[in-house]
Amino acid sequence: MGAKRIGILTGGGDVPGLNSVIKTVVYRGSEIGCEVIGIRRGWEGLTHVNLQDPASRTRYVLPLNRENTRTIDRTGGTILHSSRTNPSKMKKLPPVLEGQDFPKSETTKNGVTSTVWDVSKAVLRNIQLLNLDYLIAIGGDDTLSYAAALDKVGMKVIAVPKTIDNDVRNTEYCIGFSTAITRAMDAIERQRTTVGSHERIGLFRVFGRDAGYTALYTAYVTSTRCCIPEFKVDLQSLIDMLVTEKAHNPSNYSLAILSEGAEWEGYQVKEYGDPDAFGHRKKMSVAEDLSNEIRAKTGEDTIVSDLTYDLRSGSADFVDRMVASTFAGMALDAIDEGKHGLMTAISDGCFSLVGIPDPKLGPRKVDVESMYNKERYRPRYDHKIGIPIFLTRA
């Protein structure tokens, strides 16, 4: 084992299972003689830290050991905290870097041009001062896009994919996805009685700004209709189906699940607030908009249930703990073998190490033809023999 000090950080939205990765890295690391240093608050930990200042050091650096990670896998979230920080496109220099010279460029998003700084030089300096040989970055496509960039400029990085959206390229599975679907499934099965008691059309909104996996797989296991960003449904057909299904249901209700980024023909989901470090603004509720359309067009009563953050909450299920611990073990094996620039993944249903996805390709999308019934607005259940366990190929 050449590498002795491993940094680990979590970026982007939290998911259940992150703490299992952290704990297993620490435990496995201690068995093969590695120190593990927690970098707190994602990439912010490497852009904002002032290593000379004890308070800043405490805020951003947490040495990990078996004692302080022993029980962390029992809860969701991340003990290291998280942030959406993009060191290659900082809109403002952190106080510790003010007055220093960094490459800057202009970016234009939605017609607004702003200056951004690439502070990778400071990130590398902090990594050097912390004496880190390796970095394990756990994140979704945004966080991992910087992991790929950092590896290219000389830091040895292993990426671990997590997101309840399951939309990181080059892997069929991201930590958090199974727990999110289990949570959504439980909530929907519970809420059927309240929707039915009031004879309503129930609309459930789940996360998934670019990809519809979360809505689609929840629909798959609850036998429900869904709308996903990859396919624009016809509004009138959708409403007709929901009204007809309600009338045929002895309990007089019907349900649909909507990805936050789902749209119908002629409709664009509205956004609000400032863009985050990766250019994303929050989306208004497509479910509320659909609810208004249904009420106006049919007079039917509707109810909207926003499941979004609840799907990220609570402790990880069996699948996420298993995948998280396995990805952690794989990351340590990779480090032990001197590999870097790679991501732990599931490919063709098997655990594997793959390239960190090219950020230019954007998030992975649902294959509409094989997975979505474009006439019935439902998941497809046919032709699954030979398909990997998570029903998709990356």
From 76, 44, 75, select the one nearest 59 (Cα to Cα).
44
Contact 167, 364 (CB under 8 A): yes
Residues 298-327 that bind ligand F6P (CB under 6 A): none
Does 64 engage in binding with ligand F6P (CB under 6 A)? no
Q: Which is nearer to ligand F6P, 260 or 263 (CB)?
A: 260
Q: Are strands 378-379 and 5-10 parallel, antiparallel or unpaired?
A: unpaired
Q: Name the residue whose CB lies closest to ligand F6P.
A: 207
Residues 119-158 that bind ligand F6P (CB under 6 A): 140
Residues 260-299 that bind ligand F6P (CB under 6 A): 260
Q: What one-character-per-residue DSSP string does 175-197 give?
A: BTHHHHHHHHHHHHHHHHHHHHH
Least separation in angstroms between CB 393 and ligand F6P = 21
C-alpha–C-alpha distance, residues 234 and 225, integer Å? 13
Does 209 engage in binding with ligand F6P (CB under 6 A)? yes
Which residues 6+ apart lie within 8 Å of 141 measured at CB? 163, 167, 168, 169, 357, 359, 362, 363
Q: Which is nearer to ligand F6P, 165 or 300 (CB)?
A: 165
Least separation in angstroms between CB 212 and ligand F6P = 10
Q: Which is nearer to ligand F6P, 44 or 300 (CB)?
A: 44
| Number of Cβ atoms within 10 Å of the Cβ of 263 | 19
Candidates 193-201, 203-211, 249-257, 369-377 — which segment interacts with ligand F6P by CB under 6 A?
203-211
Binding-residue total with ligand F6P (CB under 6 A) = 10
Least separation in angstroms between CB 205 and ligand F6P = 11
C-alpha–C-alpha distance, residues 225 and 285, integer Å? 18
Q: Which is nearer to ligand F6P, 20 or 163 (CB)?
A: 163
From 303, 311, 266, 310, select the one nearest 287 (Cα to Cα).
303
C-alpha–C-alpha distance, residues 333 and 327, integer Å? 10
Binding mask 9-48 for ligand F6P (x = CB under 6 A): ---xx-----------------------------------
What b/e readout covers 72-99, taking b as 16+ CB neighbours within 10 angstroms? bbeebbbbbbbbbbbbbbbeebbebbee
Candidates 184-192, 207-215, 224-232, 313-321 — which segment interacts with ligand F6P by CB under 6 A?
207-215
C-alpha–C-alpha distance, residues 213 and 367, integer Å? 10
Q: For the packed helices 120-129 and 141-152, what is the interaxial angle rounded to 10 degrees?
A: 70
From 95, 115, 20, 110, select the one nearest 50 (Cα to Cα).
95
C-alpha atoms less than 13 angstroms from C-alpha of 196 in its C-beta half-sphere: 11
Least separation in angstroms between CB 137 and ligand F6P = 15
Q: Which is nearer to ligand F6P, 165 or 172 (CB)?
A: 165
Q: Are strands 350-355 and 342-347 parallel, antiparallel or unpaired?
A: antiparallel
Least separation in angstroms between CB 309 and ligand F6P = 7
Binding-site member from 43, 177, 207, 372 for ligand F6P (CB under 6 A): 207
Candidates 39-47, 202-210, 235-243, 330-338 — which segment interacts with ligand F6P by CB under 6 A?
202-210
Q: Which is nearer to ligand F6P, 13 or 359 (CB)?
A: 13
Least separation in angstroms between CB 85 and ligand F6P = 12
Candidates 26-34, 58-66, 162-170, 340-348 — which segment interacts with ligand F6P by CB under 6 A?
162-170
Does 364 engage in binding with ligand F6P (CB under 6 A)? no
Tokens of 22: 């952290």
Residues recognised as catalytic: 165
Does 208 engage in binding with ligand F6P (CB under 6 A)? yes
Question: Helix (H, G, I), strand (E, B), or coil: what is residue 2?
Answer: coil
Least separation in angstroms between CB 207 and ligand F6P = 3
Least separation in angstroms between CB 12 and ligand F6P = 6
Does 164 engage in binding with ligand F6P (CB under 6 A)? yes
Q: Are strands 342-347 and 302-306 parallel, antiparallel or unpaired?
A: unpaired
Contact 356, 160 (CB under 8 A): no
**Chain contacts with ligand F6P (rule: CB under 6 A):** 12-13, 140, 163-165, 207-209, 260
